Chain A
Amino acid sequence: MDVRSQISMVFHLDKCIGCHTCSIACKNVWTDRTGTEYMWWNNVETKPGTGYPTKWEDQETYYGGWENVNGKVRLKSTGRGRIVPNIFHNPSLPSLDDYYEPWTYKYEDLFNAPEGDDQPTARPISKITGDYIDIEAGPNWDDDLSGSPVYAESDPNLDVLTEEERAQMFGIERLVFFYFPRICNHCLNPACVASCPSGALYKRGEDGIVLIDQKVCRAWRSCVAACPYKKTYFNWSTGKSEKCILCFPRIEAGLAPACFHSCVGRIRYLGVLLYDAERIEEVAALPPEEMIEAQRAMILDPNDPEVIRGARENGIHDSVVESARNSPVYKFVKDWGLALPPHIEFGTLPMLFYVPPLLPVMSKMQDGQIESVSDDLFHGFDQARAPLAYLSNLFGGGNTGMLTYALRKQMAIRMHRRLETVGDVDPEVVERMLREADCTPEEADEVYKLTSLCTFEDRFVIPPAHREEAIEMMKDPQEHKRSVGFGFLAGPKRGS
């Protein structure tokens, strides 16, 4: 057992209202520099929809992630053997057109236009060339456009549905969508790290955050092609790749990342998971249907004395283990089995988990009212407005079992709370629902509390970074104390 700690995340999709505050918080802090305008380290997609970059989930186009060739796991894009002949031209690199050309408006025209009969207008100009452009795509171009034949029907996850199911899903009465906020998953088996010829990408040993060493990156662009979630971006101006850094400077100071902190729907949870690093390779080589369960089994119980001993041996601070014990992520993923990784079949073992959406998906219209119970307690998942096959393609590795488990439990909890607060349902029915959903009333209340009444401290359990010890590692603390607070930082200047 090789115990390591990882800062992990849970996004509760039922709570996401699609306001994009997270994206804006991130953009304002990290990506409003030249060359990063098109980057959305955090973005919110409408599902069904094509996402960003367009159709990123379609690995027959983008060649991201891992593939299993005769039991051997290898990169779908350019791994070891294939990088050598392809170093001059990466065959699977997306181009700016797969994202969009960033633009601004020529606002000065509003003031400088000569007097005339027309209202002056501010025409859009490209943020790359400075020329006038016709805007053809932009961030969240298909926002809220589920059901549209132009955008939503191109969602790669719809491929698994039958014609009938598709027609149903797009039927005007059944039309359904939910939001899918995405950041870097800080994977256990990151394809971006494995693909970097320079070794610029790395996973931090202390907390598992995946970063790009800007001074080692040489713009071979392999990471952009290799990441199946398309969460590494190429800065065309500096000639370096960049990605979500999970706001590590904030985390080290005990603050939640900007997107977490600003989340209006409070859908985001962050905490430590301890895991067994020895089993990464083995789990990554499993068939996708078994991967979710195996990944869950890799996550270790921070109350197990064996695990605590292993953590100590590996130099993990007791305060980190303590933090893992209070981790909301551990509860959602391990204790309750409610949170699932996105697209586990890509093989990167993402450490960002999603509580699958229940409400818009499961409820149906009855007499003009949204109704979520029927004679059949769980009112037949086959009646779900979004076919389970669609959701399980996103969150179940094609396996509906774990997805149904999470949805049933959520529904049972909802009924349990309805009994508590409104009292218009039969207690026996609720009891049966809870039993069938593998949930106790106590657990249901706990889930309810962490879902609905959660405070900052409940949602973000950030382990102390122990900067005092970190500094001691590098140099004499006294000397460090005398030398901070004054000096020069060099900006990221493009080479010639």
Chain B
Amino acid sequence: MPGTDQFAHLDILLFGVLPYAAMLLFLVVTIQRYRSQSFSYSSLSSQFLENKDHFWGMVPFHYGLLVVLGGHIVAFLVPRSILWWNGHPARLYILEVTALIFALLAIIGLVALVVRRVRTPRLRPVTTTSDWVLLGMLLVQIATGIGVAVTYSWGSSWFASTLSPYLWSLVTLNPDITYVAALPLLVKIHIIGNWVLIAFFPFTRLVHVLVVPNQYLWRKTQVVRWNWNRRQIRNPSASLDARGAEPRRD
């Protein structure tokens, strides 16, 4: 049957080739963008222009997404821990229900954000085409995720046994798509959506994820920068190099 054959090729393309293309694009473009346009790395917050609906969209969306995404990552990195946890039905229910609640929070927040952008004229000048594409992709991604959770029960368990091996096979540069090829269409869409999002990531405001504050919690309260170190410059024994182009910070 020629049809099946075509689908097999498509599967290889979407699950065996697309991931590498997406990751390559992600790495090359984020680094290149950081090096040549570091100014463009910003969360591009619009809270200043609209300060009320912002809370009801931003907070549920981010907390919901963080928990759900965190769950996916744990399941990918240590699938056995999930399987162990799910060994007891009560614990499985708790995990599934929690995940679903946070996913619903994320989608409610996201819808609220879309509505906010549509309804507030002041946000028009700070909304780009790539923002709309991104919002659409996130909507599809979260919606299909919730769809999968509802229609194909106990995803937390079968993720660990089917998708983790697939992802690991990609990591080890030995892609094995047999598990994925057999999955239902909705799950496939969710997986493809993930790769497309990763590929699109560096071209959007999503890059703010990479620059979340890191040293704030343990740096000194006040920041002082010295553009040139007079103590060194007046030291004739220090070489030009040793006097250093690196600004002193304390």
Q: B171 at interface (Cβ–Cβ under 8 A)? A: no
- Cross-chain contact A495 with B224 (CB below 8 angstroms): no
- Interface set, chain A 464-483, CB cutoff 8 A to B: 469-470, 472-476
A432: interface (CB < 8 Å) = no
Question: Contact at A199–B223, with CB atoms within 8 Å?
Answer: yes
Cβ of A131 within 8 Å of any chain B Cβ, yes or no, is yes
In the bound assembly, the distance between CA atoms of A206 and B45 in angstroms comes to: 32
Chain A residues lying within 8 Å of B43, measured Cβ to Cβ, are 218-220, 239
A472 to B238, CA, bound (A): 12
A111 is an interface residue with CB less than 8 A from chain B: no
Residues of B within 8 A of A316 (CB): 230
- Does B80 interact with chain A (Cβ within 8 Å)? no
Question: What string of 1s and 0s marks CB contacts (under 8 Å) between B111-150 and chain A?
Answer: 0000000000110111010110000000000000000000
Interface stretch (choices A162-170, A189-197, A294-302): A189-197
Residue among B54, B125, B130, B222 with the most chain A CB within 10 A?
B222
Bound CA span A191–B104, Å = 38
B248 interface hit (Cβ, 8 Å) = yes
- In this assembly, does A490 line the interface, its C-beta being within 8 Å of a C-beta of chain B? yes
Choose among B61, B126, B233, B240 the residue that contacts A236 (Cβ–Cβ < 8 A).
Answer: B126
Interface string of A207-221 (1 = CB under 8 A from B): 000000011011111
Interface string of B206-246 (1 = CB under 8 A from A): 01100111011101011111111111111000001001110
Of the four ranges (under 10, 10 to 19, 20 to 34, 35 or more), the interface on chain B belongs to: 35 or more
CB distance from B187 to the nearest CB of A (A): 29
Closest A-chain residue to B55, C-beta based?
A89
Assess whether B227 is in contact with A201, with CB atoms less than 8 Å apart: no
Q: Closest approach, in angstroms, between the C-beta of B68 and any C-beta of chain A?
A: 15
Inter-chain contact B229/A237, CB cutoff 8 Å? no
Is the pair B216, A80 in contact by a Cβ cutoff of 8 Å? yes
Are B48 and A89 closer than 8 Å at their CB atoms? Answer: no
With an 8 A cutoff between CB atoms, is B32 at the interface? no
Q: Within the assembled complex, what's the spacing in Å between the Cα atoms of A490 and B35?
A: 13
A343 within 8 A of B: no
Quick check: A93 and B40 within 8 Å, CB to CB? no
Flag whether B42 is at the interface (Cβ < 8 A): yes
In whole angstroms, what is the CA distance A130 to B212 when docked? 33
Which of these, A239, A280, A495, contacts B37 with CB under 8 Å? A495
Rounded to whole Å, the gap between the CB of B139 and the closest CB of chain A is: 18
Q: Once the chains bind, are A129 and B50 in contact (CB under 8 Å)?
A: no
Given the interface pairs A89-B59, A198-B211, A203-B222, the reply to whether A495 lies near B48 with Cβ below 8 Å is no
Closest Cβ of chain B to A185, distance in Å, is 15
By the criterion CB–CB under 8 Å, are A239 and B213 in contact?
A: no
Closest to A74 in B: B221
Q: Do B230 and A317 touch across chains, with their CB atoms under 8 A apart?
A: yes
Q: Are A219 and B223 in contact (CB under 8 A)?
A: no
B62 touches A204 (CB 8 A): no
Kindly report which residue of chain B lies nearest to residue A224, judged by CB atoms: B48
Which residues of B are found within 8 Å of A472, using beta-carbon distances? 233, 240, 243
| Residues B227 and A205 in contact, CB atoms below 8 Å apart | yes
Residues of B within 8 A of A240 (CB): 39, 42
Contacts of B212 in A (CB 8 A): 87
A218 touches B41 (CB 8 A): yes
Which chain A positions have C-beta within 8 A of B205?
495-496
For residue B30, CB closer than 8 A to chain A, the reply is no
| Contacts A83-B213, A128-B125; A219 near B42 (Cβ below 8 A) | yes
Task: Decide yes or no whether B97 CB sits under 8 A from chain A.
Answer: no
Cβ distance B171 to chain A, nearest Cβ, rounded Å: 30
Question: Is A215 touching B47 in the complex (CB atoms < 8 A)?
Answer: no
From B47, B124, B230, A221 is in contact (CB under 8 Å) with: B47
Residue in B42, B130, B222 whose CB lies within 8 Å of A194: B222
Interface residues of B (CB under 8 A from A): 37-51, 54-55, 58-59, 61-63, 121-122, 124-126, 128, 130-131, 203-205, 207-208, 211-213, 215-217, 219, 221-234, 240, 243-245, 248-249
**Could you list 30 examples of A-B contacts with CB < 8 Å?**
A83-B216, A88-B61, A88-B62, A94-B48, A95-B47, A95-B50, A96-B122, A129-B122, A130-B125, A190-B222, A198-B213, A201-B223, A203-B222, A206-B227, A206-B228, A215-B38, A219-B43, A220-B213, A224-B48, A234-B48, A236-B49, A238-B42, A314-B231, A315-B233, A317-B230, A472-B233, A473-B243, A474-B228, A474-B245, A495-B41
